[in-house]
Structure formats: C-alpha cells, structure tokens
Amino acid sequence: MNGWLLAAGITASGVAAAHIAGGHRDVVRPLLACGLSDEPKRVLHAVWHMVSIDLVLSAAALVHLALAGATSATGPLAWFVAAHFLAYTVAFLVVTLSVGWPKPLLRLPQWFLLLPVAALTAAGAS
C-alpha cells in the first residue's frame, strides 16, 4: 500500500465532496438563477458537473493506485493526476490574483484544497 497516494485519494475525496456540496449551494444555484442567457448558463452548469465527475474519478483512481500495489503504470498515472491537480491550482491562483481583490487568496480558496492533493500525489508517485 502506498500511504502517500492513499492520503492523496482521501484528500481528493474531500475536495470532491466540498465541490459537490458547496459548489451546488454557492455556485450552481446562483448561476441558474442569474440573468445570463440560457446557452452559456447551461454550458457553465455542464462544466461544473464535468469537474465534479473529474474530481470523483481522480479520487477513485488515487485510492485504487494506493491499494493495488505498484505496477509499471502507477508512477506515470500518479504523475498525471498530480499535474492535473497542480494545473487546477495554478488556474485558480492566476484567476484569483488577476482580479485585484483585497485578500484574494481567501476570496477563492479552492487552490488551497487542490494543492495538497497535487503534493501528496507527487510524493506517492516518486
């Protein structure tokens, strides 16, 4: 068993749960109630669901990798997931820091949830 990948998978599961519960309340409901035209509104709604699926599948993959034992595919797949979460982290940081808000890192704190998954996964991939 790979403890780093298991920790990453558990953390990623928490991120997925927070995204699904909190995102539905704080993002999806206001999005669907806003005056944006139907097409972009439904595209953004679908993208939110795509991210939900992506987070759940990534968490499941990490737990599977942790429990299945090392194979020749473990390292490359783990590095892919680590890069994936790091890219999500960077996207949130770039968007957050480009807006010019006071205390921007606290305004969109998603990066703070994504970065540990990337770090734990990278540790387990090595």
Q: What is the pLDDT of residues 62-109, one digit of tens each?
A: 999 999 988 888 999 999 999 999 999 999 999 999 998 898 899 889
- Of 57, 74, 64, which Cα lies nearest the Cα of 12? 57
Domains contained in the chain, number: 1
pLDDT the model gives residue 37: 95
Task: Supply the range of the domain harboring residue 85.
Answer: 3-125
Instruction: For residues 109 and 27, give the distance between their C-alpha atoms in angstroms, rounded to a whole number.
Output: 14
Which pTM does this prediction carry?
0.91
Residue percentage of the chain with pLDDT more than 90: 85
